[in-house]
Chains A and B, each alone.
Chain A
Amino acid sequence: MAPSRTLAVAAVLALSTVGLAACGGDDDDAGGTVSMELWENATTGPGKAFWEKAAADFQAAHPNVKIKIQAVQNEDLDGKLQTALNSGAAPDIFLQRGGGKMAAMVEAGQLKDITADISAETRQAVPEAALKTGQIDGKAYAVPVAILPGGFWYSKELFQKAGVTPPTTLDELTSAASKLKANGTPIALGAKDAWPAAHWYYFFALRACSQATLEAAAKSKTFDDPCWTKAGADLKAFADTKPFNEGFLTTSAQQGAGSSAGLVANHKASMELMGAWNPGVIASLTKDTKPLPDLGFFPFPAVPGGQGDPAAVMGGADGYSCSAQAPKECADFLNYILTKDVQEAYYRGFNALPVNKAAQGAVTEDYLKAVLDAYNKAPYVSQWLDTVYGQNVGNALNVSIVDLLAGKGDVAAIIKAVTDAAKKG
């Protein structure tokens, strides 16, 4: 009994490793079929359908290509991807969040340089600022598929009730917030997850620091310019007016009706500062899980005394990368998903702003139009600061800003934490 069972176990183990080894991308250059694996983060509904259709259409146009789609739960994606990249069995095409993680992948030689493969049509259709999000030192390692700028998502109905209009200056925001809070509908903030709190600091920094300072800090990782301190002081002064929901420190951002997005969805809060993925999150948390009918958008207001342009926008871009060993057809596919029709389908599948300028005409929701308007008027667009400065600095900002809002730390502690973290990474 025992020996045969051991043998069986050994055989199963051996077979499973053989099986694992066969999971890599097969790059068949012998004129046969090329098969590619695509990892994306929509596991249900129209988002998943979009990828299935895009892959099928691409296969129809390129009979020698076969694309296998693997839908990975958004929260699991980063970890699984890291494991796959390190084990040398990486998917050929995968969702790329950019920033410090992408830089680490590039440094480890895990991404394909696609600078030369981005077609002239793509360069024409997609704005330079958006394409830049996938570049490091002038070389392209990813292409953006959607732009996700940040700003305030608000309830028009609740604004009307309180008799306020979307503010354009910090003073207007402060007085609007106090009126709204008096009505029992404060600003929602999901500080339990920390990054929504850190976003407040990013936006104050965007107004306080000039574009040159923001960009220089990405290289030098020094934060001694007085504008960083000003941003912290501005945030502290604003937070001292107590504009946020009760218990914001233990409110999560996106989980359940009690989360900050849920408070907006259920008219318990009047607005939330968040990226352009928020309409979808809010829609999933309304009572009937339909989009909030009175949802509106306004950009972060102007703040007096700063070096930054009051119309500058901050936001991220979801992109797609090819792994280092991917076949050349991978880049063809990336060009294909940036064409007008596919981008329009992407917008419909994900309710996100397409990067293709021609496809942006298909956008109908007025809140998305408001986002586009702010985006296209912006003199410059900054990536999320934790993307620009890396996870390491972003994490330190998360820690110190939660402390600041909880009344435990001060503005100087933010600068110190960031400087210390920059030394670590």
Chain B
Amino acid sequence: MSSDFGGEATAVAEDVPAGRVPAGDVAEQPAPRPRRCGIGWAQRLEIALLSGPAILMFLGFVILPVLMAAYYGFYRWKGFGAPTDFVGLDNYLTILRDSSFHDALLHNGLIVVLSLVLQGPIALALALLLNRRMRGQSVIRVLIFVPYVIAEVIVGTAWSLLLQVEGAVNGVLEAIGLGGLTADWLADPKLAIWTLMLVLTWKYVGFAVILFLAGMQNIPEELSEAAAVDGASYWQTQRRITLPLLGPTVRIWAFLSIIGALQLFDLVYIIWGQYVASTAGTSTMATYLVTEGRNAGNYGYGNAVAVVLFLISMIIALVYQRFVLRRDTEGALTGGR
């Protein structure tokens, strides 16, 4: 899983400071940036002018909608005209009591954990494989990365057609004499979540591989050379040098993956539709939001769900930043405190 922060992630991955290395010297920590103080008004004006438009866009299209959602969440509102029916915290109480929301939350949790557990090892293995000179390397890279580049809608539509009861997957199984393995991949509640994980892994593992490869490129050659001189085997080198030094990259990837999994919507909505998802056990908080908000015409309630989803993602993000990413981002984000 991932979200749209790929650009930032690679930027972070490029200048990751090295962690602890048992052998050899340590890559230098970047010096903490000097505190900005006493800049002249001309500079301030320049900063304001240059960043102004971006900040305005951000305020208008990110911050304002968030505040509006928080406001609408206190109303029972059908979406036409101004909201008038103030219900206080009623919407939130309903959400917390609704068993469909509990289901969605549970599925989200499963998707978060399974994304990490499935994609992490696979992506690491592939990255290690691709990190050495070999024939057809670029072809394999492209094959792994292509699913990540294809639009979610196309991926979802294609998989939903393939996985129909009368679809190609069952057709192929029949044709090669494995008719006993055919199943209702999408609607069977025992299978559906695994089907979803298969599609998610197929789609997003490429993103993780690219991140890990970028991280590996940043590990100085000298380290593995030194290890080789000391008589370390390939596996020892990978285990004691590459993987530890890849830590920051893995942690950033896990962060993006968790946030993406929490907000998963498009693939579920396209493959399962808006109602079968809850029956098959693949509904997420975001699909619940659309079903109970937009489809029911309860826009106040839907906004309250959006606020809950926002708070959950926010809390998890902050906790993760504080406790997991702290070492990696020291000096960059936390001001060195």
**Interface residues, chain A, with chain B CB atoms under 8 Å away:** 2-3, 6, 9, 82, 85-86, 100-101, 104-105, 107-110, 191-194, 246-247, 249-252, 256, 258, 390-392, 394-396, 398-399, 402-403, 406, 408, 421, 424-425
Contact = CB atoms under 8 A, between A and B. Distances in A.
Nearest to B160: A250
Contacts of B298: 392, 424-425
Contacts of A100: 78, 297
Chain A CB within 10 A, most for which of B165, B189, B291: B165
B187 A406 contact: yes
A408 B279 contact: yes
B81 A107 contact: yes
A55 to B, nearest CB: 27
Contacts of A85: 80
Contact of A258 (B80, B161, B278): B161
B273 interface: yes
Contacts of B274: 194
5 contacts: A6-B49, A82-B80, A86-B79, A194-B276, A398-B295
B101 interface: no
B275 A402 contact: yes
Interface of B: 46, 49-50, 52-53, 76, 78-82, 94, 100, 160-161, 163-167, 184, 186-187, 189, 271-276, 278-280, 291-292, 295-298, 301
Given A3-B49, A258-B161, A408-B189, A396 B296 contact: yes
Given A107-B80, A110-B80, A395-B291, A247 B166 contact: yes
A258 B276 contact: no
A392 B278 CA distance: 17
Nearest to A193: B273
Contacts of B279: 249, 402-403, 406, 408
Contacts of A192: 272-273, 275-276
B81 A110 contact: yes
A340 B50 CA distance: 63
Contacts of B82: 108
B71 to A, nearest CB: 14
Given A104-B78, A246-B166, A247-B164, A392 B296 contact: yes
B80 A402 contact: no
Given A247-B164, A250-B272, A425-B76, 11 more contacts: A193-B273, A194-B273, A247-B165, A247-B186, A249-B187, A250-B165, A250-B276, A258-B167, A392-B296, A399-B278, A402-B276
Nearest to B292: A395
A191 B275 CA distance: 9
A100 B296 CA distance: 10
Given A6-B49, A192-B272, A421 B164 contact: no
A424 B301 contact: yes
B273 A399 contact: no
B97 to A, nearest CB: 10
Contact of B164 (A193, A194, A251, A402): A251
Given A191-B276, A250-B272, A2 B164 contact: no
A321 to B, nearest CB: 12
A86 to B, nearest CB: 7
A108 B81 CA distance: 5
Chain B CB within 10 A, most for which of A9, A82, A101, A247: A247
Nearest to A10: B53
A250 B268 CA distance: 12
Contact of B297 (A6, A108, A246, A395): A395
Contacts of A107: 78, 80-81
In order of increasing CB-CB distance, the 8 nearest A-B pairs are: A108-B81, A247-B165, A391-B297, A395-B296, A194-B275, A192-B273, A104-B78, A249-B187
Contacts of B278: 399, 403
Given A247-B165, A250-B165, A406-B276, A82 B79 contact: yes
A116 to B, nearest CB: 24
Given A191-B276, A425-B296, A104 B52 contact: no
Contact of A104 (B161, B275, B297): B297
Nearest to B273: A192
B295 A2 contact: no
Contacts of B53: 6, 9
Chain B CB within 10 A, most for which of A107, A258, A402, A403: A402
A402 B186 CA distance: 14
Chain B CB within 10 A, most for which of A100, A246, A250: A250
